Amino acid sequence: MAMTERTNTPRILVAGCGKLGGAIASLLRDSATVFGLRRNPAQVPAGIQGVKADLMAPESLDKAVPDNLDVIVYCLTPASYDEQGYRDAYVNGLSNLLDVVKGQPLARLVFISSTSVYSQNDDSWVDETSPAQPRRFSGEQILAGERTALDSGHPATIVRFSGIYGPTRQRFL
């Protein structure tokens, strides 16, 4: 990634700095200036600069999102687990954030996705060649978010995690 060639410290925004996003931010904090975007910035991990904003309120983003970002890690959880909640988290929130950073030359946009974009649910093998044809609205909205990231004009990476959600799956984090 180009940020290793820079002489100054990379500036990374983790949008959605909850359990997974907070773990990512904590891993990055020793080698970068890391900002954690949450509605409640007091909950970002120690050593991360909290950014108070709501991805569904573009006016809050305009005032809060730092300038000169190198990387955005987009790591959201829906506020509600219905179709609109997924659309807001994965598509509308990302679109609002991308509008705010328009004109900033990001080195990378990392979109945290899910294997729910695949239709297989029978324990069959899934890899990057498997077709992304979700059968549920959650996977459809996450896939739409992936397309938003890939069509953003910024170099984008999609990471499809599997098996990390739920109270008994903390070991994967």
169 versus 107: which is more confidently predicted?
Answer: 107
User: Of 148, 138, 154, whose CA–CA distance to 96 is shortest?
Assistant: 148
Instruction: Give the lowest-confidence range in 3-17, 82-96, 122-136, 152-166.
Output: 3-17
What per-residue confidence (pLDDT) applies to 1?
A: 46
Quickly list H helices, the chain.
19-28, 58-64, 83-87, 93-100, 137-150
Percent of the chain exceeding pLDDT 70 equals 90
What per-residue confidence (pLDDT) applies to 166?
A: 58
Distance between CA atoms of residues 135 and 113, nearest Å: 16
Q: Where are the domains of the chain?
A: 9-165
| Tens digit of each residue's pLDDT (9 = 90 or more) over 53-112 | 999 999 999 999 999 999 999 999 999 999 999 999 999 999 999 999 999 999 999 999
CB 38 within 8 A of CB 44: yes
Residue located via tokens 């909850």:
18
**What rounded mean pLDDT belongs to the chain?**
91
Q: Under 8 Å CB-to-CB from 14, ≥6 apart: which residues?
A: 21, 22, 24, 25, 28, 34, 35, 36, 37, 48, 72, 73, 75
9-165 CATH = 3.40.50.720
Instruction: Say what the pTM is.
Output: 0.89
Q: Which residues of 114-147 are buried (b: 16+ CB within 10 A; e: fewer)?
A: bbbbbeeeeeeebeeeeebebeeebbbbbbbbbe
